[in-house]
Amino acid sequence: MAAQENTDFAAVDLIRSKRDGDPLTPEQVDWLIAAYTDGRVGDEQMAAMAMAIHFQGLGPDELSRWTAAMIASGTTMDFSGLSRPTADKHSTGGVGDKITLPLAPLVAACGVAVPQLSGRGLGHTGGTLDKLEAIPGWRADLTNAEMLRQLEDVGAVVCAAGSGLAPADKKLYALRDVTGTVESIPLIASSIMSKKIAEGTGALVLDVKVGSGAFMKTPERAAELARTMVGLGTAAGVRTTALLTDMEAPLGRTAGNGLEVAESVEVLAGGGPADVVELTVALAREMLAGAEVDADPAAALADGRAMDVWRRMIAAQGGDPDASLPRARHTEQVRAEADGVVGSMDAYAVGVAAWRLGAGRARKEDPVQAAAGVEWHRRPGEAVRAGDVVFTLHTDSPERIPGARAALDAAVTITTTAPEPRPIVLDRITAD
């Protein structure tokens, strides 16, 4: 799928074509992605193209070729030599979304290898690598040989993607973030799927979040993104399904790196919040079905097998599974102002508060605080009295607390009647 040596185009002509709604040819797509990757097309021209795609979209053939060209911009991985099938999960990002942490060892405990190449948080959504780096000694960067060895020996690995996988996406992702084109469904779909297809997993489950704390605010937009990604994965020979899951309220009881690790360990120990357990098991079932392995993930969670894999997975990457997690130097409580029932909790507001406390970053190079974040002691549907603690704020920087409190000012509604329970899994999308 690489650009042909004797084929050349003018980037401005391609920008005009897409701006005016004309489809790009396969040769034009190949050339554009290759030329942008090696610097022959500059950021200013690719920014214009991204905006043109944002407004005009990409047709199915264009999108398929665009994704293939991004994969061809780098290397691909091969897990065919492993003694067990592979399956992976990708979440589009949410607040309190620590699901990868218990999910990877759970699926591995059921006989499927999980090569989970993860990222860091940006803005109000947390990053899996930031969470795991709260564990003393744990390291995210592995060589391919180390990754393969751990997959064979342990069954699960969560690590950073190497720079060789879809380098075109790395450049384009950073550009989209500063040009207002993050929300483009074709660009989101090709970004996610180019990396996941290049990763080489046999089966893929997509957790597409819907609601306040998600990038997709409506079920219609989320379903469109899910269908697009399932189509790309299936066409590339990856068994792909998607679950649309609720992100109107945050997941679990915590948002923040070390706080979410502690909550994940509770789940692996047989406890933890019911919504985190439910979604972990639901995604595990999808991954096992995709890998064509008949096993009961709920049993593997209950009998301790998943916890055993977790401990081995953390130790294999230099972490100490018995070490104490960092504790914030400062905490502050936010209390309810009235009696009643929690009617709603705005996931986005909670995510912003955690970010302002130091759990997230505004730029990729910013550091994060391992102990910062938000704990909530009530969830929608639960009773509350005036003066009860609703949130506990955690940070090493007390000057950050007023901004976090401001973000939470209208995050919770207190009503006289309990709201209708919201399902965690809203829909399931397949290629059928």
* Sign of the torsion formed by the C-alpha atoms of 390, 396, 402 and 406: negative
176 catalytic per annotation? yes
Whether residue 18 lies in the annotated active site: no
Q: Are 36 and 46 in contact (CB under 8 A)?
A: yes
* Rounded Cα–Cα distance for residues 239 and 121 (Å): 27
Q: How far apart are the first and last CA of the chain?
A: 27
Q: Could you tell me whether strands 340-345 and 239-246 are parallel, antiparallel, or unpaired per DSSP bridges?
A: unpaired
Q: How many CA atoms lie within 13 A of 57 on its CB side?
A: 7
Backbone angles phi, psi at 277, to 5 degrees: -65, -45
Catalytic pick among 30, 88, 130, 169: 169
CA distances from 305 to 95, 110, 111, 298, 308 (A): 27, 9, 11, 11, 5
Catalytic residue among 18, 54, 90, 171: 90
Q: How many CB atoms lie within 10 A of CB 259?
A: 31
Concerning whether 89 is annotated as a catalytic residue, the answer is no
Catalytic residue among 176, 209, 253, 285: 176
Q: Is residue 207 flagged as an active site residue?
A: no
Q: Which of 18, 89, 131, 195 is an active site residue?
A: 195
Instruction: Report the distance separating Cα 271 and Cα 304, nearest Å.
Output: 11
Active site residue 195: yes
- Residues with catalytic roles: 90, 169, 176, 191, 195
